[in-house]
Amino acid sequence: MKKRALKQFVFVSAISFLLLGSNAYAQRAYIALSEVSAQIGYGTLVGGSDYGRTEFALDFLYTEEDAYVGDISFQVFDQVGSKVKGLVAGIGGKVYALNQDNFDALALGIGGMLRYSIPSVKRLILGVDGYYAPSVVSFIDAESFYEIAARVEYSVLPQAGAFVEWRDFGFEDSSGKTRHIDENLRLGLEINF
């Protein structure tokens, strides 16, 4: 039953991207690596309006401890306002699927992100993001699930950037113990096309 839920998650993710791909406006892909983990991601803008842009994204994380995490996210983001130039905020949700040893989890997290392009250093971007899934929307072996991150990014080219990021994925199991899936400093590349 547990493995079946993870397979269904992967199947729904693949179908969603096939359906949304034809309506995509812009896309991004990234890879983030640490000594013990690798994560790849793909996002596509699925619409735009006067009220912000909407991105649909898919990420997969693997660690040396045989943890597999997949997530699908849906986020609306835009410039915060004219008083703070370069500040972008986003809010949205993520559906997580986890498999590690004898633990499996599905969770629905809500959260968001902030990105700030420093005006005096045009290519430098600071960012934070976080998502949380309480027990009411965490299933199988998880009582809650979280993801937090802080990032420094440098735009090497207009369409490509390199970043250093600290990120922590974790969940609380049914015994109340917090388990860190991946808590590391990572290096990464992001390409927009």
Domain 2-192: give its CATH code.
2.40.160
At position 181, the amino acid (one-letter code) is: I
Distances 89 to 12, 65, 111, 155, 172 between C-alpha atoms, Å: 28, 33, 11, 19, 28
The pTM (predicted TM-score) of the whole model is: 0.82
pLDDT digits (tens, 9 = 90+) for 4-50: 555 555 555 555 554 555 455 678 999 999 999 999 999 998 876 66
Distance CA 69, CA 169 (A): 9
Q: Which stretches within the chain are classed as H helix?
A: 2-21
- Residue 169's beta-bridge partner residues? 147, 182
pLDDT of residue 159: 92
Distance CA 126, CA 169 (A): 20
pLDDT digits (tens, 9 = 90+) for 50-93: 667 889 999 999 999 888 999 999 999 888 876 778 899 999 99
Q: Which of 73-87, 92-106, 121-135 holds the top average pLDDT?
A: 121-135
**Where do the structural domains in the chain lie, given as residue ranges?**
2-192
pLDDT of residue 51: 67
pLDDT of residue 4: 54
Query: Which residues make Cβ contacts (< 8 Å) with residue 121, sequence separation at least 6?
Result: none
pLDDT of residue 173: 80
Distance CA 169, CA 53 (A): 26
**Signed CA dihedral, 82, 84, 87, 92: sign only:** negative
pLDDT digits (tens, 9 = 90+) for 157-193: 989 999 999 999 988 887 888 888 899 999 999 999 8
pLDDT of residue 1: 43
